[in-house]
Structure formats: C-alpha cells, structure tokens
C-alpha cells in the first residue's frame, strides 16, 4: 500500500504497521501535511498547521521505534486538536480573534498525555468562537462539510469533525459539553466518544 493511501486507514491499523516498522511515521506525517496543504484551503479544518514541529516529532518517534523504544499505540500517529486546548509554544485561539496571539507556556493535561504517548501534533482545528455552538460564521473561516461543502459540519468542534472525515489527520481531540463533538461527528459521518465527566482532566 502506498503512503498516500494510508491516510484513509484507522489508527489501530496504522499503529500495527508502525509497531512492525512497516511504515515510517515521517512518511505518514508528510502524507497528511501534503493532504492538508492540498485540501484545507477549501475545507478550513485547521486554524494553525504545525508542519515543522510535526515533522521533528515524527523523526524523533521514528528513531525511537527503530531503536526498539516503542511507547504504545499512539507512538508515531499524526493527530489534530481542537484549538481550545493549551499547547506550549503553539498559539491557542479558542476560535477567536481576541486570542490570535495567545501562545501558552504550558500544555493542557491531555496534550501532555498525548505527547508522552508519542503522538504527533499536525495542528490546531477550527472551531466555533469560544466553543459557542450554533454560530454559522467562524473568525478563521467557516469549516465546510467534506461530503457536501454547501452543508454545515456541525458545531462547535467542527474543524475536528471535518479533519477526521476528510483524512486530514488520523483522529482528533475535540470537546463535548452539550454535543459539541458528537454533532460534528454525526454531520460528517464519523464517530465521537464523549467520556464520562471527570474521566479526562479539563486542566
């Protein structure tokens, strides 16, 4: 299977291939970044794409895995994050122009856990401003449903839903208080999991 086709595979399948050293995390990351570059100008799934950081992390993951230091099923897997989760050194807008220059000096707990697991951050996903669902206009461009760009992709984790459905990342971390993750998943033909309250730290 050529690398460009692997972007359509599941996390579970990709993890098996990476663990067996049958595919390169670097090549996989490059394939996703190429796809983002080619398609996201229309789909608007991302606010910030972290190309250089993603490739550096992918090279580090590949080196570790080749040396036998496999961390687990997220090691070398390219993912995306809704742009409300703090990411150290990477701007976090919460979908608002008010936070256009906000660059956190710490990671959200969930981001730290993902980094420890060896996941590769491709970028930060578009979202309704301050996660207020129901808004049709987004300050960083309104995301488009990849199956029909005249239809909405749901709110407020809209960019995350679009990115997963369009294979612009393997999986995404969104957020769901009252359907903010599940509604975009349903609108975009994918699956969202809302964990039990308190299961995942909100810090």
Tokens representing 131 are 């996660």
Task: Give the burial class of 152: count Cβ atoms within 10 A of its Cβ; 0-12 exposed, 13-18 middle, 19 or more buried.
Answer: middle
**Apex CA 148: angle with CA 47 and CA 125, to 5°?**
15
Q: Name the catalytic one among 82, 124, 160, 167.
A: 82
Active site residue 158: no
Residues 6+ apart with CB under 8 A from 138: 44, 95, 126, 127, 128, 129, 158
Q: Are strands 78-82 and 172-173 parallel, antiparallel or unpaired?
A: parallel
- Is 19 known to be catalytic? no
Helices (H), the chain: 3-6, 11-19, 25-43, 51-66, 109-116, 158-165, 182-188
Q: Would residue 82 show up in a list of annotated catalytic residues for this protein?
A: yes
The active-site residue out of 156, 157, 158, 167 is: 156
Q: Exactly one of 96, 158, 160, 180 is catalytic; which is it?
A: 180
* Tokens 């796809």, located at residue: 35
Q: Give me the sheet containing 120-125, strands edge to edge.
A: 46-49, 120-125, 78-82, 172-173
Active-site residues: which are they? Answer: 82, 156, 180
């Amino acid at each position: 299977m050529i690398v460009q086709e692997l972007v359509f595979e599941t996390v579970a399948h990709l993890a098996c291939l990476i663990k067996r050293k049958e595919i390169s995390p670097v090549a996989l990351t490059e394939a996703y970044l190429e796809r983002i570059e080619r398609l996201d100008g229309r789909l608007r799934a991302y606010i910030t794409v972290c190309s250089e950081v993603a490739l550096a992390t992918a090279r580090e993951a590949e080196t570790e895995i080749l040396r036998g230091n496999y961390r687990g099923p997220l090691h070398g897997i390219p993912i995306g994050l809704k742009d409300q989760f703090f990411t150290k050194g990477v701007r976090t807008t919460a979908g608002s122009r008010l936070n256009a220059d906000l660059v956190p000096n710490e990671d959200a707990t969930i981001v730290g856990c993902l980094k420890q697991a060896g996941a590769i951050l491709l970028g930060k996903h578009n979202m309704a401003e301050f996660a207020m669902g129901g808004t049709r206009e987004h300050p960083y461009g309104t995301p488009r449903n990849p199956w029909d760009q005249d239809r909405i992709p749901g709110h407020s984790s809209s960019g995350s839903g679009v990115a997963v459905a369009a294979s612009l990342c393997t999986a995404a971390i969104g957020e769901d208080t009252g359907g903010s993750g599940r509604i975009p998943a349903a609108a975009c033909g994918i699956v969202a999991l809302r964990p039990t309250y308190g299961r995942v730290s909100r810090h």
